[in-house]
Amino acid sequence: MDYDSIVKLLRVKPEKKVDLDDFDPDWGGIDELADAPEEEELRDRARAFMEKNRADLAEAQELLWADDRRSVLVILQAMDAAGKDGTIKHVMSGVNPTGCGVVSFKAPSAEELDHTFLWRAMKALPERGKIVIFNRSYYEDVLVVRVHPELLQKAKLPEGKRGKGFWRERFEDINNLERHLVRNGTVVLKFFLNVSKAEQKKRFLERLSDPEKHWKFSHADLAERAHWDDYREAFEEMLEHTSTEHAPWFVIPADRKWVMRTLVAGVLTRTIRDLGLEYPRLSDEERARLDDARRTLAAE
């Protein structure tokens, strides 16, 4: 299977009902790797594949930076322990730090709650030439807040019903914001890192038994795990209503970390390349000025 077909497979079609059962969290269907006989060989190939991936992304980012007209917003959402941090580390490891940034969204502060739910994200959007990754985002406001609607009481919203219509309006607000961004030159890519409940359990247990991973365990994560089915439903609704032509969601299998990281970096690289950017070309006048400068320096 070639990369373009893989990307197509992962992309959530707009306005289609989403059933996460249709997306395999443990998917290894990459041709270059599938026929590898031994675990060790598989790892070697994965490593080579990721190296190549990294180099491709670095090249794409440089072009984005040089062109300076487009920007890229990458949004990561997932259940706990799906591997957001590791994915960010991988994606960022090969790129020029000047041209990228990461912003994490935690429970909103008092100041943030005094604004609409999109405000804090607006302030953090990428400027032209840059890639910004959102580690969580305004999508939390249709995920954690939907699973725990009591959080809405802190948001100081006007009175009103908090039924399905309320969440539809949030989806609409999000879609409008993203359309605005896309119209003005930002590429918006959204990744749902799809980890299975069994794999999450395994990773939590690792965090509990390995002293070097203790710091990663949070009791709150276990409490959220108890709401697994509610989160799943919230994710499905989110994917259905906010995967659009202009700002698609990709459901990334997350049970194998290298598959996940490779796919995210791959989709990102492809998307930047498909923008058809070019290094800025000089006008005749500018080129003449460069010739002048060269002569001046040579004559020193």
Q: Report the interface residues with ligand ATP, using CB under 6 A.
A: 80, 84-85, 104-108, 135-136, 140-141, 144-145, 151, 218
Fill in the amino acid letter for 74: V
Within 13 Å and on the Cβ side, how many CA atoms surround 170?
Answer: 22
In angstroms, what is the minimal distance from the CB of 241 to ligand ATP? 18
Query: Does residue 132 contact residue 124 with C-beta atoms inside 8 Å?
Result: yes
Q: Which token pair is 288?
A: 């003449």
Is the CB of 184 or the CB of 218 nearer to ligand ATP? 218
What is d(CA 182, CA 189) in angstroms, rounded to the nearest whole number?
10
DSSP states of 263-281? HHHHHHHHHHHTT---PPP
In angstroms, what is the minimal distance from the CB of 224 to ligand ATP? 7
Q: Given the structure tokens 């690792």, which residue do they identify?
A: 206
Is the CB of 84 or the CB of 241 nearer to ligand ATP? 84
What is d(CA 252, CA 134) in angstroms, rounded to the nearest whole number?
16
Is the CB of 34 or the CB of 208 nearer to ligand ATP? 208
Is the CB of 106 or the CB of 123 nearer to ligand ATP? 106
In angstroms, what is the minimal distance from the CB of 212 to ligand ATP? 15
In angstroms, what is the minimal distance from the CB of 21 to ligand ATP? 24
Is the CB of 67 or the CB of 173 nearer to ligand ATP? 173
In angstroms, what is the minimal distance from the CB of 167 to ligand ATP? 14
Determine the residue with CB nearest ligand ATP. 140
What is d(CA 132, CA 88) in angstroms, rounded to the nearest whole number?
10
What is d(CA 208, CA 221) in angstroms, rounded to the nearest whole number?
12
